[in-house]
Amino acid sequence: MTEIIKVQRPLRTNDPTIPWLIYDKSRKREQQLPQSIIPPAAVKALGNDPKGYFEGHWSSIVGWAIGKRVKNQWW
């Protein structure tokens, strides 16, 4: 099932080893991944924004699959 997820880069550093945070609205499924694992299309879509909202699909095996960026949410 596709959901809206938030993708948030580290706020205080540009260090690529600091994990990015990915989660759904309820924060029931939260994942931390290094930038090298974030799909390049998602990094490009995020641009200079510290966070953005994307379509996402949860897999209990690999975690969040990040899809296309969607309009900003208020959560």
- Residue 30: predicted pLDDT: 96
Q: How many domains does the chain have?
A: 1
Q: Is residue 33 part of a domain?
A: yes
| Total-model pTM | 0.90
pLDDT one digit per residue (tens) for the chain, 75 residues: 899 999 999 887 777 788 999 999 999 999 999 989 999 999 999 999 999 999 999 999 999 999 999 999 999
Two tokens at 30?
A: 């939260």
Question: What is the per-residue pLDDT for 48?
Answer: 92
The answer to whether 55 and 2 are in contact (CB under 8 A) is: yes
Token pair 């309009």 is found at: 71
Instruction: Judge whether 75 lies within some domain.
Output: no
Q: Which domain does 60 fall in, by range?
A: 2-70
Tell me what pLDDT residue 55 has. 98
In this prediction, residue 11 carries a pLDDT of 83
7 half-sphere exposure, CB direction, 13 A CA radius: 31
Q: Is residue 11 part of a domain?
A: yes
Place of tokens 């900003």: 72
